[in-house]
Homo-oligomer: A and B are copies of this chain.
Amino acid sequence: MDFEDTPEEATFRAEVRAFLDANTTRKSTERAYRKRALDEADVARAKQWQAQKADAGFAAITWPTEYGGRGGSMIQHLIYAQEEENYVVPQHIFNQSIGLALPTIMTHGRKDRVERFARPALRGEEIWCQLFSEPAAGSDLGGLRTRAVRDGDEWVINGQKIWTSNAYFADFGMLVARSDANVVKHAGLTFFYIDMKSPGIEIRRIRQISGASNFCEVFFTDVRIPDSQRLGAVGEGWKVAMTMLLNERLVVGQAEGPDFEDIYALAKLVLLEGAPAIEDVAVRERLADWYIQQQGLRLTKFRTMTALSRGKTPGPEASITKLVSATKLQDIASFGIDLLGMAGAAMDPRIAPMNAWFQEALLYAPGKRIAGGTDEVLRNIIAERVLKLPGDMRADKDLPFRDIPTGAKS
6 other contacts beyond A282-B282, A282-B285, A393-B395, with CB at 8 A cut-off? Answer: A280-B281, A281-B281, A281-B282, A282-B284, A392-B393, A393-B393
Give this chain's copy count.
Answer: 2
9 CB-based A-B contacts, threshold 8 Å = A280-B281, A281-B281, A281-B282, A282-B282, A282-B284, A282-B285, A392-B393, A393-B393, A393-B395
Compute how far the CA of A395 lies from the CA of B280 in the bound complex, rounded to whole angstroms: 52
Indicate with 1 or 0, residue by residue over A272-288, a CB within 8 angstroms of chain B CB atoms.
Answer: 00000000111011000
Determine the interface band of chain A, counting residues with CB < 8 A from chain B.
under 10
Interface residues of A in 230-286 (CB under 8 A from B): 280-282, 284-285
B-binding residues in A (CB < 8 A)? 280-282, 284-285, 392-393, 395
A82 CB to nearest chain B CB (Å)? 36
Q: Which residues of chain B are within 8 angstroms of A280 by Cβ–Cβ distance?
A: 281
Compute how far the CA of A284 lies from the CA of B280 in the bound complex, rounded to whole angstroms: 12
* Residue of A280, A282, A284, A392 contacting most chain B CB atoms (<10 Å): A282
A144 CB to nearest chain B CB (Å)? 22
A338 CB to nearest chain B CB (Å)? 12
Q: Which residues of chain B are within 8 angstroms of A392 by Cβ–Cβ distance?
A: 393
- Chain B residue at smallest Cβ distance from A284: B282
Q: Which residues of chain B are within 8 angstroms of A395 by Cβ–Cβ distance?
A: 393
Compute how far the CA of A395 lies from the CA of B394 in the bound complex, rounded to whole angstroms: 10
Compute how far the CA of A395 lies from the CA of B397 in the bound complex, rounded to whole angstroms: 13
Q: Which residues of chain B are within 8 angstroms of A281 by Cβ–Cβ distance?
A: 280-282
Q: Which 3 A-B pairs have the closest CB atoms?
A: A282-B282, A393-B393, A281-B282
Compute how far the CA of A211 lies from the CA of B285 in the bound complex, rounded to whole angstroms: 35
- Chain B residue at smallest Cβ distance from A393: B393
Q: Which residues of chain B are within 8 angstroms of A282 by Cβ–Cβ distance?
A: 281-282, 284-285
Compute how far the CA of A280 lies from the CA of B282 in the bound complex, rounded to whole angstroms: 8
- Chain B residue at smallest Cβ distance from A272: B281
* Residue of A281, A284, A392 contacting most chain B CB atoms (<10 Å): A281
Compute how far the CA of A282 lies from the CA of B288 in the bound complex, rounded to whole angstroms: 13
Q: Which residues of chain B are within 8 angstroms of A284 by Cβ–Cβ distance?
A: 282
